[in-house]
Amino acid sequence: MGKIAFLFAGQGAQYVGMGKELYDNFTVCRRIFEEADESIGFKLTELIFEGQKQELDLTENTQPAVVAVSLAAYKAISEFGIVPDLAAGLSLGEYSALTASGVFELRQVIPLVRKRGRFMQEAVPEGLGKMCAVLGLSEDKIREACNEAAAYGIVECANFNCPGQIVIGGELKAVDEAARLAKEKGAAKTIDLPVSAPFHTSMLSSAADKLRTELEAVELKDLKIPVISNVTADYIGSRSELKDLLVRQVKSSVLFEQSIRRMIADGVTDFVELGPGRTLSGFVKRIDRSLGVYNVEDMASLENAVYRLKDRR
């Protein structure tokens, strides 16, 4: 029998009203939202359920909001006795995965990701950097385009999402030039992403430094569930290396496709995406269509995942 992996949503999938059905139907989920509000002294739940999209989309609000909803989804599926053999998250989602694994407590992680969001937002003044998805071009050709565009400024590979989808990020002119070159080299399409900064590039170094200072004060516990790191696409070995990996994660490429391939090699046959949206489910299907892929963000998706996985308990 194959293993089950839980995948935790990253930033970008948020929407007003996410998680409300879980809040209404499960006491354990309601507790997550209440504790999240208490931990930052701010009505985060109100913003998530009935706030303005514009306010929810501010990185320092998005990050704690997505983590709260993802952990509520985790609690909801746990109520049915479905537990993961291993876990991972996309960028921000790694914090949800680590909390599910017992490394962070909720009251620690919500304020931490709120600060992380603020640091990331402040690292690059708006209008100086951008991110762009390159579709249908090999990694080699994309790296080639980035190297050639480096004369215009910083441009780097930021996210390896799935076959045929790599995100580049950096300074405006350099990213635009790399995107133009990528098309010349045969890319099917390039899409500018609606984000406020070039996340997961060296331009986020100042955010990484501030995060390091915050993490120094946080006490971590041991991992109860194995978690794959975005930075290495390998298992996080111990608490001692964890803080350094989280600092590096802000300014390093997210190796999501490589992480999923590692899990498949280790016997994972079913993936459950927890939190808003189905972005990660889409990536996993692009990597291997034969896998079982489910998500949990509301009652309908929860019931479907539980029904499909019930024989696996």
DSSP 8-state secondary structure symbol assigned to residue 190: E
How many angstroms separate the CA atoms of 272 and 132, rounded?
27
The Cα–Cα gap between 246 and 253 comes to 12
**Nearest CA among 1, 32, 37, 5 for reference residue 19:** 32
Task: Record the tokens describing residue 52, joined without a space.
Answer: 């303005």
Question: Residue 47 in contact with residue 56, Cβ under 8 Å?
Answer: yes
Is 276 buried (19+), middle (13-18) or exposed (0-12) by CB count in 10 A?
Answer: buried
CA distance 51 to 44: 9
Give the active site residue among 39, 70, 91, 252.
91
Contacts of 27 (CB under 8 A, 6+ apart): none
Q: Which two tokens stand for residue 256?
A: 């999501």
Token pair recorded at residue 272: 């459950």
- Give strand ranges (E) for the chain: 3-8, 86-89, 129-135, 155-162, 165-171, 189-192, 268-274, 292-296
Tell me how far apart the alpha carbons of residues 190 and 103 are, in angstroms, rounded to a whole number: 38
* Given 39, 70, 96, 200, the catalytic residue: 200
| Spatial CB neighbours of 122, under 8 Å, sequence gap ≥ 6 | 206, 207
- Please say if 290 is a catalytic residue: no
| Residue 78 a catalytic site member | no
Q: Is the dihedral of CA 264, 268, 274, 278 positive or negative?
A: positive
Residue 227 is classified by DSSP as B
The catalytic residues are 91, 200
